[in-house]
Structure 1
Amino acid sequence: MLFLLIGNSIFSQNNSKGFALLELYTSEGCSSCPPADELLGKIQNEYKDKNVYVLAYHVDYWDKQGWKDIFSNADFTKRQYDYAQFLGKEPIYTPQVIINGKTDYIGSQETSLRNGIKLALSKPAAVDLSLETKQQNDKLSLNYSINGTFKNSHLLIAVVQKSAKSNVKRGENAHRVLSHYQIVQRLQTIDLKVAKGNSTITLPKNFNTQDFEIIGFVQDIKSGAILGVKRA
């Protein structure tokens, strides 16, 4: 059920159901990435009313190949390396999709990705996460509440741009206009010590409630497993 209040958005749902958080690692400099970007955009649209969430992280290790991805971030490359440690799978690559922090897939392989989503949805969430947000100029005030066991966990808050297009001039995708979906612009980590708390997030300059959304998720820092997720 969705409740909208002036200045606030509260999303509440029975999170005993399963969920699928798809984390895509991609780059404008990678010729095999556009099909994955398109597929994740298709999945996002298809499952928008379900417990399926898409986050696209643009990594920076392709930036030296002739084209700098305007959405790339070294922190996202580090996050992908962390997953390589969790999953015991190196070297890292694009396009890679990791579902619920547990299993990785080649991002353009639709059948295996859809099977992964079905498997994730069949397993109940470990925690129930509630988020309440309020925008104040370029800041986002966030209140969170967690029901369930969250020892050794972080709460991560992703500020997500829903879509964008880029005219790529050089590199492997030279002279192409690329479509991007669910682009992570900010990723803030909150160290969880109590079940309820608050935080402040700095928003991108072009942030607006129509073109962006906030997705929060709880992650076990020892295994990388995602325990619960919520859209605010």
Structure 2
Amino acid sequence: MKTIKNLGLSACFMTILGLAACGQDKGSAKKDTAKISGNGFAVLELFTSEGCSSCPPADELLAKIQKEAQGKDIYVLAYHVDYWDRLGWKDIFSSANYSKRQQQYGSWFNSSQIYTPQLIVNGKAEFVGSDEAAIRNAISNQLTTKANISLVLHAQPDGGKLKVHYQASNAVKGNNLLIAVVQKNAQTKVERGENAGNTLSHVQIVRQIQNEPLSSTGEGNSIVELPKGFDTQTWEVIGLIQDQSNGEILGVAKADLGVGAIAKK
């Protein structure tokens, strides 16, 4: 069983046998989102599930940070894992691909166990997803760490597909481009499982991910399948450049599908 330094936080751990163990949530300190305007960025990846009773506080914290992050170099992604689905409630947003991504982080972090809610910042540090003070501190630290790689994305929906052109500067061999298609908001009335009877709100739900090696020049084109219900107003596309040797996220960009403008870092 994995040890968490702050025993006051709540998390549910999945052992190798698939059993869950949950701690008690005693709350966390409140602090303003980092207001630093530096040369860095913070990518927050939350692994969560509608079937996990410890996850709603982390989902709520992510929503608060997302709201405060407007205009800042903070990028939020919520992956709904599928290993909770067999325990009473099937999360409609869950995917085995997101569980595999979390398992890959376990390999990069040299950890044999995975848990929810787990939040990873820039692919370098992991926290219980409701540990507000630690997460905000990590965001502040990353915003002051200058990015060495810049990424520009141009994305254009075409029927049921998304045509993506990317250009990465200073990219090196061993880096991959991950393209995430994200639904900005959703609500679910949970009927069974640990959250039975609750209506859960979600933000920045990853509905599709595509992971591929960067081209040797750092520039190329990709075609991504679009999920059912996609539109250019309530969804967005975020691209990450990730070191495949250790999981560190080196660059990030978001495409504004409404007007075609591109934000970059």
Q: TM-score, normalised to structure 1's length? A: 0.91
1:71-220 paired onto structure 2 within 5 Å: 71-193=93-215, 194-220=217-243
Deviation, 1:150, is 2.5
Deviation, 1:91, is 1.1
Cα separation, 1, equivalents of 2:128 and 2:52: 13
Deviation per CA, 1:197-220: give whole Å up to 9, x if none: 111111112000111000001000
Cα separation, 1, equivalents of 2:185 and 2:171: 34
Find the residue that maps to 2:98 and give its secondary structure. Answer: helix
Cα separation, 2, equivalents of 1:126 and 1:140: 27
Cα separation, 1, equivalents of 2:199 and 2:113: 29
8 Å Cα contact 2:171-2:218 kept in structure 1: no
Structure 2 unaligned spans of 5+: 1-37, 256-265
Deviation per CA, 1:2-58: give whole Å up to 9, x if none: xxxxxxxxxxxxxx8100000000000000000100110110110121100000000
Cα separation, 1, equivalents of 2:205 and 2:176: 21
Letter in 2 for 1:31: S
Letter in 1 for 2:151: L
Specify which of 49, 72, 80 is matched with residue 27 of structure 1: 49
Find the residue that maps to 2:114 and give its secondary structure. Answer: coil
8 Å Cα contact 1:127-1:150 kept in structure 2: no
Query: Quick check: which one's strand share is greater?
Result: 1
Structure 1 unaligned spans of 5+: 1-15
Cα separation, 1, equivalents of 2:175 and 2:112: 24
Q: Which 4+ residue blocks in structure 1 deviate beyond 4 angstroms?
A: none
Deviation, 1:88, is 1.9
Find the residue that maps to 2:84 and give its secondary structure. Answer: coil
8 Å Cα contact 2:182-2:208 kept in structure 1: yes
Cα separation, 2, equivalents of 1:211 and 1:48: 15
Q: Which has the higher contact order (CA 8 A, sep 6+)?
A: 1
Deviation, 1:149, is 3.0
| CA-based RMSD | 1.0
Letter in 1 for 2:180: A
Count of equivalent residues: 217
Find out whether 1:231 has 2:231 as its counterpart: no
Letter in 2 for 1:225: E
Query: Which stretch has the larger CA shift, 195-204 or 92-101?
Result: 195-204
2:76 alignment partner in structure 1: 54
8 Å Cα contact 2:82-2:95 kept in structure 1: yes
Find the residue that maps to 1:64 and give its secondary structure. Answer: helix
Find the residue that maps to 2:206 and give its secondary structure. Answer: strand
1:221 alignment partner in structure 2: 244
Cα separation, 2, equivalents of 1:51 and 1:128: 13
